[in-house]
Structure 1
Amino acid sequence: MPKIIDHDQRRKEIVDVTWQLIVEGGIEAATMREIATRAGFANGALKHYFSGKDAIVEGAYERSLTSLGARVEAHVEGKRGIEALEMFMRFTLPVEQEDATAARVLLSFWERCAFSPEVRGGYDAHLDSWKAGCLRYLAEGREDGDIVTSTPDSQLADEVIMMNIGATVIRVVSPERIHVPGLEAQVTDFIARLRRRD
């Protein structure tokens, strides 16, 4: 009988290998040849599972997001409004070693976005989803009477996203500049601002 191939498992293996290569040496290390070699495939065999390198890199990016999302969800579950927003902010900041590893993959993915409209489209969708989540928490916080600032919710959500992206870049490029108490204080100050009338 012909050997039955689990294509989903093979795709997962390819993504895992790519993720590790990016962690070790950045996007340049994750060549199609190296991915195939590390995954135990013949050259050219990857095309049976992915349309190209962009699709594989996007898979590695999704792997990081899935891991982060599961952790955040565990802390946000059962919460709403300003409390959910605070947990969301605290547990998306890159402060743990696991976060640093994921941050390297994210930074490589962002670089790829600059040169691939296909990859950038997927990232735009992620940003839209991320912002929608922040806006939901902000709306709930206003409904609960906890958020009273006159700063528009769209601007506040953008601040949350920019704070996280900035911290992620620094975590990769200059990790010695990441001061965890300082990051936590920024979140505390941001949440306090939401409770103050301008």
Structure 2
Amino acid sequence: MPKVVDHEARREELAGAVWRVALREGFSAVSVRTVAREAGWSPGALRHYFPTSDAMIAFAVERAVCQVRQRFDALDATRGGAITEATPVEILEQLLPLDANRRIESEAWLALVSNAHIGAELRKQRREVDGLIRYVVQTVIRQLDDLGRLAAHRDPDLETGRLHALLDGLVVQGIADPPGITPTDIRAVLRQHVDDLAR
């Protein structure tokens, strides 16, 4: 009787190998060779799932987006859906490299940005991720308005663009080697910007 292969389980196994390599050596070390070695697979077997490095980048970003969504859901469940003074910053912090896992997520996003010009699939994925980030930022600006923490003269669309650009800059500086900014500094800059929106 032919052996039944659980392809989803094998993809999950590879996901674990991708993130172990990335957490240990940085996202730039993720390749067919390093992930195959980590998973105990042959490069040929791994290429059945990821025929190109682009496919591996896309997979890593997909995994990162899934993790971010799970954190958003956990935050929402903890608050019971209520918006507090701390909610906007807590949400935005999920998108920034403030710990090892979020740093790798940020590196995966930057790899997507850097390689999006190569193929249509990566360009499409980059648009989707940018759309998700923009939606999160728009939601935060609305929350600040509902909390009375967005000054009346502030243009919500302009402030959405400004905050989105700030997040992008904090990510790039936070994952630079060496980092241009520490997690403590990132939190301070973010909180200062959010506080300034009320003025």
TM-score (norm 1): 0.78
Whole-angstrom CA distance in 1 between matches of 2:95 and 2:129: 14
Q: What letter matches 2:91 in structure 1?
A: F
> For each residue in 1:51-80, what CA deviation from the matched residue of structure 2 results, as whole angstroms up to 9, or x when unmatched?
643222211122223223323443354233
> For each residue in 1:154-184, what CA deviation from the matched residue of structure 2 results, as whole angstroms up to 9, or x when unmatched?
2222232222222222222244532344322
Q: Is the 8 A contact 1:113 1:119 kept in 2?
A: yes
Cα deviation for residue 132 of structure 1 reads 1.6
After TM superposition, the runs of 4+ consecutive aligned structure 1 residues lying more than 4 A away are: none
**Equivalences for 1:43-58 in 2 at 5 Å?**
43-50=43-50, 52-58=52-58
- Deviation larger for 73-82 or 123-132: 73-82
Q: Is the 8 A contact 2:96 2:106 kept in 1?
A: no
Query: Is 2:98 the counterpart of 1:102?
Result: no
Report SS of the residue matched to 1:4: coil
**Equivalences for 1:73-152 in 2 at 5 Å?**
73-76=73-76, 77=79, 78-80=81-83, 83-152=86-155
- Residue 160 of structure 2 corresponds to which residue in structure 1? 157
Whole-angstrom CA distance in 2 between matches of 1:54 and 1:121: 12
Q: Quickly say closer, same or farther: Cα 1:86–1:49, change in 2 above 3 A.
A: same
Whole-angstrom CA distance in 1 between matches of 2:143 and 2:5: 47
Cα deviation for residue 30 of structure 1 reads 3.7
Cα deviation for residue 42 of structure 1 reads 4.1
Cα deviation for residue 35 of structure 1 reads 3.7
Report SS of the residue matched to 2:5: coil
- Residue 169 of structure 2 corresponds to which residue in structure 1? 166
Report SS of the residue matched to 2:2: coil
Query: Is 2:184 the counterpart of 1:190?
Result: no
- Residue 71 of structure 1 corresponds to which residue in structure 2? 71
Q: Is the 8 A contact 1:15 1:56 kept in 2?
A: no
TM-score (norm 2): 0.77
Cα deviation for residue 10 of structure 1 reads 0.9
Whole-angstrom CA distance in 2 between matches of 1:195 and 1:51: 50
Greater RCO, CA 8 A, separation 6+: 1
Cα deviation for residue 50 of structure 1 reads 4.4
Cα deviation for residue 128 of structure 1 reads 0.9
Q: Is the 8 A contact 1:82 1:191 kept in 2?
A: no
Structure 2 residues not aligned, in runs of 5+ = none
Q: Give identity over the alignment, percent.
A: 22
Q: What letter matches 2:106 in structure 1?
A: A
Q: Quickly say closer, same or farther: Cα 1:184–1:37, change in 2 above 3 A.
A: closer
